[in-house]
Structure 1
Amino acid sequence: MNFIFRKAVTLIALAPCFCNGQQTPFSGNWNIDLRSAEERKQNVDCGSATFELLQVGQRISGNHYMSTPRCGRVNEGGPETVKGIAVGSTAMLVVTSGRNGAIVLGRAKLNHGMLQWEATEEIRSGEPEGDSPLILSKGKLVRSKK
């Protein structure tokens, strides 16, 4: 078992000690527009990533979605394809690709009303080998107002 995965397991095991009660700051729909300025100007379809998260206590679950501009490739995620644990303004999330079954571990951090996401490690490759899981590798997502 590698270091980052062990660190995530330790964080999950210790999380009940840090539970902060009723706050659920990660809950909501978080989005990022992945289109270039030119693609936005042309109003090109798709080209975004979304995390739909629900936080209960320190536990987080939800769905994710990602598509390339012009909808060439899509990962529709699915129910419970995001699972994790939050401690304060940081969460460790495990994200499973609905496209090819790949699993990544990543860190989400709340900062000035934005969710900073970074995938830190691929836990399991997807199949077929070489097919992109279309899980956002890094980005600053904004909360939807809906």
Structure 2
Amino acid sequence: MRAFFASLCIFGFVAASSPILAGEANFNGTWSIDLRSKAGQKRGVECGFATFALVQTGSKISGDHTSSTPGCGRLNEGGKGTVKGVVVGNTAVLVVTSGRNGAIVMGKATTTGASLLWQTLEEIKQGEPEGDSPLILGKGRLARQ
């Protein structure tokens, strides 16, 4: 846990002391990915999306996220303030808290044109009850909405 906070502080220091780098990327907006299969999309299956709604102010990011399985069997409604992070260049280190079970993960988001590439790097805190999925996107290419 200390290593995580040390890493986050280093990223924050670099971003704060490098306004040119921090201004390169624009993470503002709503980013979404359709997790349904092609067949599920054709059938119009409900749910099955993961979304990040992000607000970038200088080198800081805040926002929320949602995720659901196709068919709406499991939901993570995230909630306001469930995403926090810092930007360095075109990459952001984000900490995401599951509204479903309280799990916390750290991940990396990179902007490439109209896409946001997301990858969870580490689970910082396990959710309750143990073994319940936090329904935080593990990896994917999200499109700006």
**1:36-70 C-alpha deviation (Å, 9 max, x unpaired):** 01100100000000000000111000000000000
Amino acid at match of 2:115: M
Question: Which residue of structure 2 lines up, in the alignment, with residue 56 of structure 1?
Answer: 57
Partner of 2:121: 120
Show the counterpart of 1:10: 10
Counterpart amino acid of residue 40 in structure 2:
E
Q: Provide, for residues 6-59 of structure 1, a one-character-per-residue CA deviation record: whole Å limited to 9, x for no partner.
A: 333311233211123766610000000000011001000000000000001110
Change (3 A) 1:42 1:104: same
**In 2, distance between residues paired with 1:22 and 1:132?**
35
2:105 corresponds in structure 1 to: 104
In structure 1, the residue corresponding to 2:48 is in which secondary structure? strand
Q: For the residues of structure 1 that align with 2:78 and 2:19, how far apart are their CA atoms? A: 28
**1:36 aligned residue:** 37
Counterpart AA for 2:75: V
- Normalised by the length of structure 2, the TM-score is 0.93
Q: CA RMSD in A?
A: 1.7
Deviation at residue 111 of structure 1 after TM alignment: 1.2
CA contact 1:26–1:53 (8 Å) conserved in 2: yes
- How far apart in 1 are the matches of 2:23 and 2:9? 23
SS of residue in 1 equivalent to 2:80:
coil
TM value normalised by structure 1: 0.92
